[in-house]
Amino acid sequence: MRINNNISALRANTNLSRVEKRLDKSTRRLSSGYKINSASDDAAGFSISRKMRTQIKSLERASQNAADGISVMQTAEGALNEVSAMLNRMKELAVQSANDTYSGDDRDAIQQEMDQLLAEINRISTDTGFNEKKLLNGEANRRSVTQNDGVSVVRSSESVPNGKYKLTVNEDPKKAVYTGGSVSSSDFNEDSTLQGRVIINGEVININPGDTAETVLNKIRLGAERAGLSLAGNGGGPDADGEELYGGYTAGPLEEGAELLFVSKAYGSKAKIDIKIEGTASKLKDGTTYTAEENADRLAAALNLPRKMEPDEVKKGSDAKVTLDEGFEKTATVSTDGDKVLVKDKGGFELELKVKDYTTENDKAGEVDLTVFDAGYMTLQVGANTGESFDVSIGRIDSETLGLKGINIRTNSEAEKAIAMIDNAITRLSAERAKLGAYQNRLEHTILSVDETTEDMTSAFSRIMDTDMAEEMTEFTQQKVLSQAGTSVLAQANERPNTILTLLQS
């Protein structure tokens, strides 16, 4: 028996300290709900759980990003829905104006509404935005830049790789043209009662009794302009202030003996000219009555034109010639449609240019230099890691990109052209809306996928971090009982030296 060192008490105290530590840990787990509260609890588990916690928070943010992306698509699609409604109204107006029951004033009124609708489409293009980011003015689709004045609109697919591209667009002088011979004024004098109608591309020009040659030519000139043509001539006509239209022909007053030409303002194989002359029965001063047939023939002869021009009498145009130079693969194919040039290859590359009219003098060629870059796309971060994103391309939608800039429905022929133009615009708009719908559907699936990943990762995080309350409560109870027992044993161990006093007293 010893007095200086109470070994039993020391052992009891050591065991009690261990129990108290385990009891403290159990209490912390029960109060926090986590079984890993510090790196000392489980170094590997702590490291894994910290990374998983960061990943879970990032996935939650990515899901919200995708939801914001859906909001962007819905905003853009809502604006395009209004544009679609306006295009439907514009087609209705074009169909209405194409009907020849309407007067010039009526068509002017219809044109005014058409102009207002175009202005509203342009306003929607410039004003539609989300969180101060413009959506429909081309900022979300700007991949290419060009310094070429001959190109007004550039559209490209998402598969266009970065780099420099060069096209040579060669517009041969292939506007549709009709040569009508020399102008004669012999049948137009102040005493003539010759009358009839000249119909050019659907535009009706009325020739009244008493019209002089100058009056008739002015009427035809204005009618040709309304019909989308230019009246040109050479030989007797001055060209000092005239505009170059076709080869050596210029616009300007036509003198007697000058060659009369009608020139289409449009390039390409679709350019056409249709001229028909009709006459009405009239009676000259000498009492001779002319039938409508004879009157039409006289009117045609005065203008040196056939009564009905046959299709093969028109020199039809040809489409633009395009040569691919730098940057394009040899597999690329080129097609043209009016003033548009479309380049495609097997790799998904697609580039569309809207080419302005080039001057036709001396077969001038226009070279188009493009630089394609990635800036301008709207990138949506839909994952927790780098590279887990995709680019959203929202095209520029306005009167120019829809091919409606300067649309005119003041004549039957122009209204007919407008119908086709609006149909093309509706197709273009529908494609853009379909793309937005595809983006939205993809984002909805992205949200579901990200949320599922978040759920699975949270479950894994829980298995590592969360306390099993039933198991931990059992541990807590056990350690609490051991703590109470240890305290009692320690008290008894501290009393044992008192027995030595009894021995000494005896």
Q: Kindly state the percentage of the chain with pLDDT values over 70.
A: 56
Instruction: Give ranges for CATH 1.20.1330.10 in the chain.
Output: 61-172+319-417
**pLDDT tens digits, residue range 34-79?**
888 888 888 898 899 999 999 999 999 999 999 999 999 999 999 9
pLDDT, residue 242, reads 45
**pLDDT tens digits, residue range 350-405?**
666 665 544 444 444 455 555 554 444 678 889 888 888 888 888 888 898 888 98
What does the DSSP assignment read for 342-385?
EEE-TTS-EEEEEEPPPP-GGG-EEEEEEEE-STT-EEEE-SSS
SS3 content of the chain, % helix, strand, coil (to 5): 45, 20, 35
End-to-end Cα, the chain, rounded Å: 16
What is the mean pLDDT of the segment spanning 26-36? Answer: 86
Give how far Cα 109 sits from Cα of 103, 124, 391, 410, Å: 10, 23, 44, 9
Please tell me the distance from the alpha carbon of residue 392 to that of residue 436, in angstroms, as a whole number.
9
Q: Is the pLDDT of residue 163 over 60?
A: no
Q: Which has more pLDDT, 505 or 274?
A: 505
Q: Is the pLDDT of residue 124 over 60?
A: yes
| pLDDT band, very low/low/confident/very high, at 204 (cuts 50, 70, 90) | confident
When mean pLDDT is compared across 424-428, 449-453, 456-460, 500-504, the lowest value belongs to 500-504
pLDDT, residue 450, reads 94
Locus of tokens 């910290």? 50
- Contact in structure between 248 and 234 (CB atoms under 8 Å): yes
Highest mean pLDDT among 321-335, 399-413, 422-436, 485-499: 422-436
All residues at 6 or more sequence positions from 208 whose CB lies less than 8 Å from its CB, including other chains = 195
pLDDT, residue 131, reads 86
Q: Which has more pLDDT, 155 or 400?
A: 400
pLDDT, residue 275, reads 67
pLDDT, residue 374, reads 43
Please tell me the distance from the alpha carbon of residue 84 to that of residue 330, in angstroms, as a whole number.
38
Give how far Cα 92 sits from Cα of 22, 37, 111, Å: 84, 71, 12
Q: Which has more pLDDT, 312 or 461?
A: 461
pLDDT, residue 405, reads 86
Q: Is the pLDDT of residue 476 over 80?
A: yes
User: Which of 284, 279, 283 is CA-nearest to residue 295?
Assistant: 279
Locus of tokens 């937005």? 436
Cα torsion through 367, 371, 376, 377, rounded to 10: 100
Indicate the pTM of the whole model: 0.55
| pLDDT band, very low/low/confident/very high, at 342 (cuts 50, 70, 90) | low
Locus of tokens 């093309």? 424
Q: Is the pLDDT of residue 326 over 90?
A: no
pLDDT, residue 345, reads 58
| pLDDT band, very low/low/confident/very high, at 330 (cuts 50, 70, 90) | low
Q: Which has more pLDDT, 361 or 140?
A: 140
φ, ψ for residue 25 (rounded to 5)? -65, -40
Please tell me the distance from the alpha carbon of residue 405 to that of residue 421, in angstroms, as a whole number.
10
Q: Is the pLDDT of residue 426 over 90?
A: yes
Locus of tokens 């060192």? 5
User: Which of 226, 205, 227, 225 is CA-nearest to residue 216?
Assistant: 205
Please tell me the distance from the alpha carbon of residue 363 to that of residue 73, in angstroms, as a whole number.
45
Q: Is the pLDDT of residue 349 over 50?
A: yes
pLDDT, residue 86, reads 96
Query: Three-class SS of residue 388?
Result: coil
**pLDDT tens digits, residue range 36-48?**
888 888 889 889 9
- Contact in structure between 390 and 87 (CB atoms under 8 Å): no
**pLDDT tens digits, residue range 216-250?**
777 777 777 776 666 655 544 433 344 444 444 45
Locus of tokens 């200086």? 4
* CATH architecture of structural domain 61-172+319-417: Up-down Bundle (1.20)
pLDDT, residue 358, reads 44
Q: Which has more pLDDT, 213 or 54?
A: 54
What is the mean pLDDT of the segment spanning 186-211? Answer: 65
pLDDT, residue 32, reads 87
**pLDDT tens digits, residue range 258-312?**
556 666 655 455 555 666 666 666 555 455 555 666 566 666 656 556 555 554 4
Q: Which has more pLDDT, 182 or 115?
A: 115
Q: Kindly state the percentage of the chain with pLDDT values over 90.
A: 24
pLDDT, residue 116, reads 95
pLDDT, residue 85, reads 96
